[in-house]
Amino acid sequence: ETGVTQTPRHLVMGMTNKKSLKCEQHLGHNAMYWYKQSAKKPLELMFVYNFKEQTENNSVPSRFSPECPNSSHLFLHLHTLQPEDSALYLCASSQGGGASTDTQYFGPGTRLTVL
Amino acid sequence: AQKITQTQPGMFVQEKEAVTLDCTYDTSDPSYGLFWYKQPSSGEMIFLIYQGSYDQQNATEGRYSLNFQKARKSANLVISASQLGDSAMYFCAMRGLTTSGTYKYIFGTGTRLKVLA
């Protein structure tokens, strides 16, 4: 595997379900990000992790719970979601550590539908 | 506050022609980075090109070049010799800082480019 991978690619869930999105980066990076992209809305930053520590929570509802067990893996745990949470969820990674050429690379995204 | 503005919701270009996608930014940081990403209908965000705020030369990557005008705070993307596969959404982004001093990225609203045969 190379780059940034995300599983599953598509997910349909009911409002009472609990599911998790997984992101893995094979780039040796130290920073990881979750974004939400809804139709006709700008890309919304949700969470930032640097060296496994959360450094940004952009006022995300508690029904979204991130987990970063190591610098290569990032999870987004979902529970009691609402239909308006249906969106494309993108994971990204970057070098982190203050590198002046820090550049984000994205995974293919998980398209989530909440019924 | 840091902000990225893309004023062109949609653009058309004839195949093999060049096209310029506009991006302006606002930041008070002396050091920053500017990026362009391509998002095809599949959804993946593909990194295209990077320009550092202290770079003297405009960045180029194959058919992509970034027209960086620091005084005007603009970072336009130029795609030369457009191809049908260039049809996609294009996002301009800027690297900024979180409140804890680590990096975060601010994205514009995007420009949808359609290449005509």
Chain A residues within an 8 Å CB radius of B103: 31, 48, 94, 96, 98, 102
Instruction: State the DSSP string of A33-62.
Output: EEEEE-TTS--EEEEEEETTEEEEE-S--T
At B31 the pLDDT is: 86
* Residue reference for tokens 């295209």: B48
Chain B residues within an 8 Å CB radius of A92: 45, 105
At B7 the pLDDT is: 96
Chain B residues within an 8 Å CB radius of A105: 47
Contact: B95, A102; criterion CB under 8 Å: yes
* Closest residue on chain B to A55 (Cα): B100
Stretch among A98-107, B31-40, B94-103 having the lowest mean pLDDT: B94-103
**Tokens standing for residue B106:** 């601010």
For chain A, the residues whose C-beta falls within 8 A of a C-beta of chain B are 31, 33, 37, 42-43, 45, 48, 50, 55-56, 88, 90, 92, 94, 96, 98, 100-109, 111
At A58 the pLDDT is: 86
CB B77 within 8 A of CB B89: no
Contact: A98, B45; criterion CB under 8 Å: no
Report residue A101's pLDDT band, with 50, 70 and 90 as the boundaries: confident
Query: Half-sphere exposure of residue A72, counting CA atoms within 13 Å on the CB side?
Result: 6
Report residue A5's pLDDT band, with 50, 70 and 90 as the boundaries: very high
Q: Is the model more confident about A42 or about B20?
A: B20
Express each pLDDT in A62-100 by its tens digit.
999 999 999 999 999 999 999 999 999 999 999 988 788
At A1 the pLDDT is: 63
Express each pLDDT in A19-69 by its tens digit.
999 999 999 999 999 999 998 788 999 999 999 999 888 899 999 999 999
Q: Is the model more confident about B97 or about B82?
A: B82
* Closest residue on chain B to A92 (Cα): B45
What is the C-alpha separation between B88 and B14, in angstroms, rounded? 14
Residue A18, SS3 per DSSP: strand
**Tokens standing for residue A78:** 């979902």
Residue B100 has pLDDT above 80, yes or no: no
Express each pLDDT in B31-90 by its tens digit.
899 999 999 999 999 999 999 999 989 999 999 999 999 999 999 999 999 999 999 999
